[in-house]
A = this chain, B = another copy of it.
Amino acid sequence: MPSLPTSLPSQHPLVDGRTASSPLVRAARGERSDTLPVWFMRQAGRSLPEYRASRAGTEMLDACLDPALASEITLQPVRRHGVDAAVFFSDIVVPVLLAGVDVRIVPGRGPVLDDPIRSAADVMALRPVDPEVFAPISEAVALTVAELGSTPLIGFGGAPYTLASYLIEGGPSREQLRARALMRTDPQTWATLLNWCADVTGAFLRAQVLAGASVVQLFDSWAGSLSRTDYQRRVAPHSRRAFDALRGLEVPRIHFGLGMGEMLDLQRGLGADVIGIDWRLPLDEANERLGGAVPLQGNLDPALLTAGEPLIARHVADVIERGSAAPAHIVNLGHGVPPDTDPGVLTRIVEIVHESGR
- The residues of A with any CB-CB pair to B shorter than 8 Å are 175-181, 183-185, 224-229, 259, 261-262, 279-282, 301-308, 311, 335, 338
19 contacting pairs across A/B (C-beta < 8 A): A175-B302, A175-B303, A177-B302, A177-B306, A178-B303, A178-B306, A179-B303, A180-B303, A181-B303, A181-B306, A183-B303, A184-B303, A184-B307, A184-B311, A185-B307, A224-B259, A226-B280, A227-B281, A259-B259
Q: Is there an interface contact between A177 and B338, defined as CB atoms closer than 8 Å?
A: yes
Query: Which residue on chain B has the smallest CB distance to residue A312?
Result: B184
| Closest chain B CB from A332 CB (angstroms) | 16
Q: For A262, list chain B residues within 8 Å (CB).
A: 261-262
Task: For A281, list chain B residues within 8 Å (CB).
Answer: 227
A303 to B190, CA, bound (A): 14
Copies in the complex: 2
What is the CB-to-nearest-CB distance from A318 to chain B, in angstroms, rounded to a whole number? 11
Q: B175–A280 contact, CB under 8 A? A: no
Separation of A177 and B301 alpha carbons in the complex (Å): 9
**Cβ distance A308 to chain B, nearest Cβ, rounded Å:** 7
Given contacts A175-B302, A262-B262, contact A307 B181 (CB under 8 A): yes
Using Cβ atoms and an 8 Å threshold, which residues of chain B touch A227?
279-282
Closest to A228 in B: B280
Partner of A308, one of B175, B179, B185, B282: B185
Nearest B residue to A306 via CB reads: B181
Distance in Å: Cβ of A287 to nearest Cβ of chain B: 15
Determine the chain B residues whose CB is within 8 A of the CB of A279 once the complex forms: 227
Minimal beta-carbon separation of A232 from chain B (angstroms): 13
A184's partner among B175, B178, B304 (CB-CB below 8 A) is B304
Contacts of A180 in B (CB 8 A): 301, 303
Shortest Cβ distance from residue A311 to the other chain B in the assembled complex, whole angstroms: 6
* Chain B residues whose CB sits within 8 angstroms of the CB of A177 once the complex forms: 302-303, 306, 338
Complex CA gap A282/B226 in Å reads 12
Q: Which residue of B lies closest to A304 (CB)?
A: B184
Q: How far is the CA of A326 from the CA of B308 in the complex (A)?
A: 46
**How far does the Cβ of A178 sit from chain B's closest Cβ, in whole Å?**
8
A258 CB, min distance to chain B CBs, angstroms: 9
* CB pair B311 A175 closer than 8 Å: no
Which among A175, A282, A304, A338 has the greatest number of chain B C-beta atoms within 10 A? A175
- 7 A-B pairs with the lowest CB-CB distances in the bound complex, closest first: A180-B303, A177-B303, A181-B303, A181-B306, A227-B280, A185-B307, A184-B307
Q: How far is the CA of A131 from the CA of B58 in the complex (A)?
A: 55
A190 CB, min distance to chain B CBs, angstroms: 12
A252 vs chain B, min Cβ distance (A): 27
| Residue of A280, A301, A306 with most chain B CB atoms under a 10 A cut-off | A280
